[in-house]
Structure 1
Amino acid sequence: MTKTESGERPARLHLLGALCLTDAEGRDFTPKSRKAQALLALLALSPRGTRTRIWLRDKLWSESDEGRASGSLRQSVYELKGALKGIDAGILTTERNALGLDLDRLWVDLRAIREGGGALPAGVDPDADLLEGFDISDEEFEDWLTMERSAWERLRENLTTAPPAAADALAPPDAPAPRRMPRVIEIGLLPGIVHGGLRSGAFIGDYIIESVARALLDYHPVQIVDLREAGEAEPRPGEPDFLIRTRTLVVGDTASVSFLVYENGTNTLVLSQSMQTRQKDFYEDEFALTNQFVAQNVDHLAKIIGGTRDGPSGIRNDYSALIGYGVLAGMFDLDPGRMRATTEALDRLNERTENSLFPSLGAYASSFALGENIGGWDRARRERTEALAMDLLQANPFNSIALACIGHVMGFVLDRHDIAADIFGRAVRLNPMQAFVWDHLALHELYCGDLDRARAASDRAVNLGKYSPISYTYETTACMVATLSGDHARAVALGRRALLKQPRFNAAMRYTLAALGHLGERAAAQALGAELLRLDPGFGDRETREMRFRLPCREASAHVLEGIERAGF
């Protein structure tokens, strides 16, 4: 009996309380072994119900070698198949590299709560613990279970009880609940106001407002509503949540443009930024100055959106802390706990939306962990990251941030710099206003050994990202390029600027230390080196130092390591 034949899912899985697998009539088909039960739980709570075999082996047999772990996984799959065969053999799908559950055939209590926006189905105990009394002697599984229990605790705080008619205690819903995302923030584009120089002033205004909208869409799943053709002269009540417009004044050769943001409903002006320059400066160097103004306003507007909470207009953005800058800031916070929380958030968002940004950021999180030595990195993790990156590449996302993430994974992690070069080219063409894209193009050029191109891209990233919460990462890339180019004074200045904003950023510390060594500033180098060793004790070992610098050629590595030695380390 399948869902399409009966109108309901034939199997029910209870994860709150003791794990229990039943058919629609309540008969128990729970697998006997703990590992088979754990396998079922891992799949049931995974994005889209699917995990790679490597990931599952790591969670259940992390201390076994690959051969033994693969054999144990096959045995647990056999046991799980046997249990599900009594209900619906089609629930479990097995492929060479992955396992999955058909969630159209299997009702899962915790997923039903999440998909229902926190509504508690009848018959589910809100006080029950997730996988109550469950114990698997594997630290990786225990870590996963701890995080899932924490997520359940957070969800439980906002539960609502479903009305009696909404669900039957013994039967799952007739149809799968639709994806339920918090309401998307809506931004309306108003016609620009132009004083003098009508044609050029209108072009400048339209370029800025459209560029802001396009750049914001790369980071945030906002909805853009173009009201310019509708002739909206003034902010209007009701939707959208925010209204943006430009005001341009052209006098002779000089143009002044203001970017304005209103909170709709209250007609409150929440942002006003202006720039004034010669008209030709707006267009020179591929709109470099104008793009910097665009990036500044995107950063500011993103922070406004991220801070929105039930204001006078009733705006609410429940997932604002999880998108855009929030995710990247979580990665660069350099805290393993926050990195895990960020990864969890990405998994949930990836499960609830088709936006290519979230899985791309997930792949990037792995590459960042490799670069900053957060967490272990082994062949299995590399394989997982490669599989995810290739899947995303085949999906062909039209998002410059997503492409930059994938390009960095392909080059930095997988050493496929030829593929990475093409991806970065697409990313820059899609949106030349994104500092994040230019910064990772700079890293790519650095790893390929072209320091001139790396510096050009890095300078653009630093200029575009002056107001970004992760601006110190762009300054760190510039510090790396300057160090390898022999411009050590500039490298120190950039590194110190980055460390003022993020004192624990190891990459900035390493390259600044090397530059100080080349400059002969021994006292400053000793102080910085001591702090670096406190954060990264392994850096005192020569072989470990060589591993920390993933550089394209022996001469580049030798130059940096020589600076470290001159600094006294």
Structure 2
Amino acid sequence: MDVGRVVTWGAFRIRDQHDGDYTPHGMKERALMAMLALSPGQRRRRLMLQDMLWGKSTLKAGQVSLRQALSNIRRDLGPLRDSLKSDRDAIWLDPPFLIAEDQALPASEFLADLDVPDEEFESWLRDQRQAVTEPENVGQKSPPPRPSAALPVVGIVPVAAQFDDCQFLCHMLAQQLADLVAGIAACKPAILLLPEDGAASYTFVVEVQSGQDEWLILVRLLGDPVRQYLWSNRLRVERNLGRIWDAPEFAGLLNKAVAALNDQLSLRGPEGDIARIQRAIRRIYNYDKSGLETAIGLLRASTNGSAMGLALAWQAFAQLTSVLEFRTDAARRAASAIDLADEAVRLSPQDPTVLALAAQTQLKFTKDFDYSHHLALRAVEAGPENPYALDALSQSQMMRGELSLSQRTAERARLVATGLANSFSWDMQAAFGALCMGRSPEALDLLRQCHLKMPAYRPALRYLIALSALCGNDADAQRYSQRLARLEPCFTPLSLLDAAYPMETLRSLGLDAGLKDRIG
């Protein structure tokens, strides 16, 4: 059998041993072959390839597109076609294609002609280019072998100035970060004295410096080998040990760090359950119908491993979002979501995110306010700085009429969630809290912040229209209506008055009557 050879510098090409060119003609077909060739074992799961190249399609349409792409590739590969193998779960190259070790030409770029307008593929391509453009001289010494663990090791190195309070704070933050990393369930944290080449797949360096009246806290994420820089963030806080236990700024910084690590885990190496769950979460918070179906498919593929409880809880939340946003098969999905949430809690009774998502499912579908409040309290007890837990508690407090307490909890959740990719959703809950307290200008400001972070987030646009109209700002209401109509072609301002339209908070506060006077 002929063995294929892949050229990666400059234009992506596939050649045979006689230098014949058998590169697929289609852009996505070339991208698919590049991903296979550069994957561990030259193998990828179907669902991952489908999501990275046809992520904006429905699950079924993506499957059809992937099958057609495989057919096109086999046609274009000619004598190499038998090397492309596939089954219901995965696609791989056998015998493996050789990677040409040609030096990069001065003006060439790695995979220069690949251009697929999908966020997931663009992230993968950016990561590949970064990996091959590291300086060559840093790798002259072979790194020691990594620990043979089932999970990748994440090192955490505390570095502090020679002051007792700095050292105490630094080690406290390092331990909290280790606890958060352990909660990801896709890696194993280890406190290290120094960054060591090969000791960990990724390394966090937590540094605390002292000023006259403040601490400067710096957290960096480094990759192995050669400790390449991946991410950093800093925080200045008042130098006061007495208030560190209830300062949400620390939790916000550590959550940013974990979010950065999650991004790296999603982009590198063979895909695991946590990587799929993270990609599913991004789909859920896009509030797109086809994206939700893709997210549910990804989560279903993640329910056989150690993260089964978390995957089931997110699947319940995805079903909840689908019902509230699109009213799709509401009765069946609601029943399914309740069952999924109950099973998730049974499997992961101490996971704060699982408990929080289950609390929201119970709150919306069963209206069992006591049980949902019980779950939310358990979530916060298990993870006092978990933004999902705080969000669930804020919603539960709101339903119990504890409006001032709900608003304070929502603001804390918003601060803790700083830096997360979906942080805009906590702006939304804080806006609801302000609205319930009768603080419409504050709610409007929070909604604007939410909209700036995620312009396609339809719930924020709906409430921006309603509150702008209620405040007499017809120009803003019209501008936001035009934006929403581009996302919902059938939308008109009168849609906000429809009892089936997702404006539950507005109706529960009795603001729909005033809105009817403004736009009816």
Same fold (TM over 0.5): yes
Paired residues of 2:320 and 2:334 also in contact (CA < 8 A): no
- Does 2:331 align with 1:331? no
- Show the counterpart of 1:272: 232
CA pair 566-477 structure 1, distance change in 2 beyond 3 A: farther
Select the structure of larger CA radius of gyration: 1
Q: Distance in 2 between matches of 1:467 and 1:322?
A: 18
SS at match of 1:255: strand
Q: Distance in 1 between matches of 2:59 and 2:273?
A: 25
Matches within 5 A, 1:131-280: 158-161=91-94, 184-190=151-157, 192-198=158-164, 200-218=165-183, 220-228=184-192, 233-250=193-210, 254-280=214-240
- Show the counterpart of 1:480: 432
Partner deviation per Cα, 1:143-193 (whole Å, 9 max, x = no partner): 986666667778657325599xxxxxxxxxxxxxxxxxx974421223x22
Identity of paired residues, percent?
15
CA pair 290-227 structure 1, distance change in 2 beyond 3 A: closer
Q: How many residues align?
A: 397
Paired residues of 1:482 and 1:488 also in contact (CA < 8 A): yes
What runs of 5+ residues in structure 2 fail to find an aligned partner? 1-40, 47-57, 71-85, 97-148
Q: CA deviation at 1:117?
A: 10
Q: Distance in 1 between matches of 2:152 and 2:413?
A: 27
Paired residues of 1:479 and 1:512 also in contact (CA < 8 A): no
SS at match of 2:219: strand
CA pair 444-535 structure 1, distance change in 2 beyond 3 A: farther
Q: Distance in 2 between matches of 1:295 and 1:418?
A: 29
Q: Distance in 2 between matches of 1:412 and 1:352?
A: 28
Q: Match for 2:435: what amino acid?
A: T
Partner deviation per Cα, 1:2-60 (whole Å, 9 max, x = no partner): xxxxxxxxxxxxxxxxxxxxxxxxxxxxxxxxxxxxxxxxxxxxxxxxxxxxxxxxxxx
Q: Distance in 2 between matches of 1:294 and 1:431?
A: 13
- Show the counterpart of 1:565: 516
TM-score by length of 1: 0.62
Q: Distance in 2 between matches of 1:548 and 1:486?
A: 20
Q: Distance in 1 between matches of 2:387 and 2:343?
A: 25
- Show the counterpart of 1:298: 258
Q: Distance in 2 between matches of 1:563 and 1:351?
A: 50
- Show the counterpart of 1:389: 341
Q: CA deviation at 1:345?
A: 0.8
- Does 2:381 align with 1:429? yes
Q: Distance in 1 between matches of 2:232 and 2:59?
A: 45
Q: Distance in 2 between matches of 1:431 and 1:476?
A: 21
Q: Match for 1:290: what amino acid?
A: F
SS at match of 2:404: helix
- Show the counterpart of 1:43: none
Q: Distance in 1 between matches of 2:513 and 2:229?
A: 54
Q: Distance in 2 between matches of 1:503 and 1:261?
A: 29
Partner deviation per Cα, 1:471-508 (whole Å, 9 max, x = no partner): 21111122222223221111222112212232332221
What runs of 5+ residues in structure 1 fail to find an aligned partner? 1-115, 121-125, 127-142, 164-181, 309-315
CA pair 151-367 structure 1, distance change in 2 beyond 3 A: farther
Equivalent residue in structure 2 for 1:350, among 287, 298, 303: 303
Paired residues of 1:248 and 1:257 also in contact (CA < 8 A): yes
Matches within 5 A, 1:461-476: 461-476=413-428
Q: Match for 2:458: what amino acid?
A: N
SS at match of 2:251: helix
CA pair 150-409 structure 1, distance change in 2 beyond 3 A: farther
- Show the counterpart of 1:498: 450
CA pair 379-203 structure 1, distance change in 2 beyond 3 A: same
Q: CA deviation at 1:545?
A: 4.0
Q: Match for 1:158: what amino acid?
A: I
SS at match of 2:498: helix
SS at match of 1:356: helix
Q: Match for 1:289: what amino acid?
A: E
CA pair 483-436 structure 1, distance change in 2 beyond 3 A: same
Paired residues of 1:478 and 1:491 also in contact (CA < 8 A): yes
